[in-house]
Structure 1
């Protein structure tokens, strides 16, 4: 008759349980997978499949007795690490939505707001449109596969261990990544905002030359036409933009893992 000790059983369960927690936290915070419209059961099932697929290639998990304080600390650690990886990519891709909000306000579309199911907040219709385009391109350039590769590599850079975790430098790096939303967003919006600025200057000169001109009757249609024309010219390079953002998000997530593992 075969007998198993409690330590052996806990080791076998932990070999799957700790990677599952990290993958689930990453999927909950990552683009596309973390959408509010995605069913929770689907997200959990996907985390189970990914964990089962990567477990054979991972280093050995530490023996931890479940129910102890050390086990709960490891649970929190895995959730934080996975969430930080997913949040790194989400922060960088949010720059496109910020750029859409800036462009929408300059075009006079600030009154046209929608509920964005991805972020769960009210945004301008143009920002929501650009965000959906970005998520589609994110899937087209295999950004989701990049995230899965990062989460698998994270167990080497930041293994499951009671004495390892995310340091203060890690959270500082994430805060700096949040600041990149504004710099990258303004850089993405600059071409369209520049066209609209020229249109504003032209409208101002036209108003001085013809004071009887109805500013609202001419300004809004002109801003719409110029803004959408500029967006039409920018759209062909959106794939390159999203690819660059994925690379920046990958660099940020690698920085987070390296700083956490170096503590």
Structure 2
């Protein structure tokens, strides 16, 4: 089968590898926001499609059999475009979305709908580890009454103000690393998306162990689609369809 994966996650890379190994024709599309991304097996496409219409046209023109949305859980616009493009093109869509982290009963995470609202909730004098990527960064950095450690894979184009420090790291992170990071920087608050998965989950365990307040920016709402939470589940559906062709 010919399969287009909207990628950029570890799950997308794992799925592409296993589909290529099984003999399928796989193209992974990356948004191109990271200058040195980890590359999947199979063909590669970099850049946007021009909205849902452009994606639908690509699906039809290139005669793909399946569209798999394996983007980050917070890539809301891309996921919405995938639903619209699938409906317009008639190409079936499968969403591979990792499950969110479960909140421990005693964790008392604070939940907010957006970076803007979360930034306003920080108390003056907070020392904050920001782990939310580039989106919404300006709302937090506008809080000059707080100190920030901004952890990202790639440096933002604009420089950081004096009350913020840049930390360039790529996951996975282990518990010892996260405990040391929080302790050494006197972190009082950590801001995170509920991305799920194991590569960055240690930060939540470390925050819980040290009593660091956890602020969660909740996932966006997605249009309805056929959805699975694991690579194995996705493969079962795709291989089942391939066997009927």
Give the greater-gyration-radius structure (CA): 1
Structure with the greater relative contact order (CA < 8 A, sep ≥ 6): 1 or 2? 1
TM-score by length of 1: 0.24
TM-score by length of 2: 0.25
Higher strand share: 2
